[in-house]
């Protein structure tokens, strides 16, 4: 596969830097000698604007308390307007260290212990944790899976709300792990069901900028006036590979919801985060647009290679169409059977991928893997090759 100019310039060796994706394989998988295609960050250096801005701060050498400037908020607001068509007001924004901490805080702020919260199934596992670990009850609505193309089962979604007196729905847009970019019609249908039953919606849009060619990401908050019942969580971390910088945004138009949310964070005196996070975030939103274009091209190249090669060499593998995120969702049920995926992918193919069961609220379904595409084309080629080789070996045994 041809390398993109972006990959040639930005691919970076991360092993030995205490990064979770490479060095953390020892903790997560018990061994280091695997191709790391799991946790969602990238093997690419951040945009030059970020590196330069952080370097400038480092050169100053004094790392005291930081007063987050207006320009930091302005950079985010301008990005949302230009790239997402969402007009965000400064007073709606609340700093959170991460989107997940924001989700936990929102569950605690806007529901009571014992209340029920709803998610789709499968979905990013910390959604389940935010509900369960906060002493709330989790209910999930299984999506329709049409040979890897996922849609919401609205009848089930509404039934779950009514039967369980659901107070909050946690949405993922684009959807991790199935890679959906939701249409306007889908978003409106979900929101109208929630409105009808008085359900608060928290939309995690952390992957909002990783959108594949031909797709349009519509911020949930822009499909109608849902400001009294909708909160958006997002961040520069997935977009620009800044997850270690711990800087995210909660966008909360409702004064009432925002006050409840701030009370939770205020109760532990959370503050405004680190100076490096704020500096990196501002520099990414002001100078990272071109970098992002190259990054998406590289992810798309990797995805097309994976999809096309598996279609040819391993047609029993079902690759979900990638509309957004850099995470490819692949069903290997007809390749390795149910329950063997972890064994074959790690022990035989030597891949560190996320195994599907974690993405299901009930822990069932061990036949999927989630592959992180934000790495070099060489590693994707090697990983696909290994998967095909092991599948052929297993079929012949
Ligand atoms: C949907 C989704 N939300 C949140 C996160 C993590 O957010 P943070 O690191 O800001 O807590 C991820 C990371 O993979 C994610 O995929």
Q: pTM for the complete prediction?
A: 0.97
Parts of the chain belonging to CATH 3.90.1150.10:
5-46+289-396
Residue range 5-46+289-396 in CATH 3.40.50.300: no
Look at residue 366 in the predicted model and tell me its pLDDT.
76
Ligand 1 pocket, 235 CB below 6 A?
yes
Report how far ligand 1's centroid is from the alpha carbon of 99 (Å): 6
C-beta 383 within 6 A of ligand 1: no
The ranges of the chain annotated as CATH 3.40.640.10 are: 51-287
Name 116's bridge partners. Answer: 137, 166
- State the helix-helix crossing angle for 377-396 and 289-313, rounded to 10 degrees: 20
172 lines ligand 1 (CB under 6 A): yes
Cα(336)–Cα(332) distance, integer angstroms: 6
Ligand 1 contacts CB of residue 206 (under 6 A): yes
- Quote the CA–CA distance of 4 and 211 in Å, as a whole number: 17
Domain 51-287 has CATH 3.40.50.300: no
| Count of Cβ atoms closer than 10 Å to residue 297 Cβ | 15
Measured in Å, residue 246 CA sits from the centre of ligand 1 at 11
127 C-alpha to ligand 1 centroid (Å): 10
Mean pLDDT by 10 residues, the chain (397 residues): 95 97 98 98 98 98 95 98 98 97 97 98 97 97 97 98 98 98 98 98 98 98 98 98 96 98 91 93 98 98 98 97 98 89 94 94 83 98 98 91
């Amino acid at each position: 596969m041809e390398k993109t100019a972006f990959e040639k310039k930005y691919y970076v060796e991360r092993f030995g830097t205490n990064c979770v994706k490479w060095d953390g394989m020892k903790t997560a998988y018990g061994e280091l000698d695997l191709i790391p295609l799991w946790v969602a960050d990238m093997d690419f250096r951040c945009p030059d604007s970020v590196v330069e801005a952080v370097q400038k701060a480092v050169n100053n050498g004094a790392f005291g308390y930081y007063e987050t400037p207006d320009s930091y908020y302005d950079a985010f607001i301008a990005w949302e307007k230009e790239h997402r068509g969402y007009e965000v007001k400064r007073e709606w924004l609340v700093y959170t260290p991460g989107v997940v901490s924001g989700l936990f805080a929102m569950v605690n702020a806007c529901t009571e212990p014992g209340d029920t919260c709803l998610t789709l199934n499968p979905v990013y596992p910390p959604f389940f944790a935010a509900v369960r670990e906060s002493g709330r009850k989790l209910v999930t609505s299984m999506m329709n899976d049409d040979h890897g193309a996922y849609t919401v089962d609205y009848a089930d979604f509404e039934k779950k709300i009514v039967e369980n007196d659901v107070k909050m729905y946690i949405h993922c847009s684009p959807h991790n792990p199935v890679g959906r970019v939701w249409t306007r019609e889908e978003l409106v249908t979900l929101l109208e069901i929630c409105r009808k039953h008085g359900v608060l919606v928290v939309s995690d849009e952390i992957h909002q900028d990783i959108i594949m060619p031909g797709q349009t990401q519509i911020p949930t908050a822009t499909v109608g006036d849902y400001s009294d019942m909708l909160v958006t969580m997002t961040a520069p971390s997935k977009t620009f590979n800044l997850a270690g910088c711990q800087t995210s945004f909660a966008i909360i138009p409702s004064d009432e919801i925002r006050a409840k949310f701030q009370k939770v964070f205020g109760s532990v005196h959370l503050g405004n985060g680190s100076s490096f996070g704020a500096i990196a975030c501002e520099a990414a939103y002001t100078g990272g647009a071109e970098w992002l274009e190259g990054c998406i091209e590289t992810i798309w190249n990797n995805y097309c290679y994976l999809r096309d090669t598996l279609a040819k060499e391993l047609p029993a593998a079902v690759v979900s169409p990638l509309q957004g995120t850099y995470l490819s969702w692949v069903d290997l049920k007809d390749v390795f059977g149910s329950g063997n995926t972890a064994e074959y992918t790690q022990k035989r193919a030597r891949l560190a991928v996320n195994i599907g069961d974690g993405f299901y609220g009930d822990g069932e379904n061990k036949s999927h893997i989630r592959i992180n595409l934000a790495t070099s084309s060489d590693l994707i080629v090697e990983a696909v090759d290994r998967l095909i080789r092991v599948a052929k070996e297993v079929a012949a045994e």
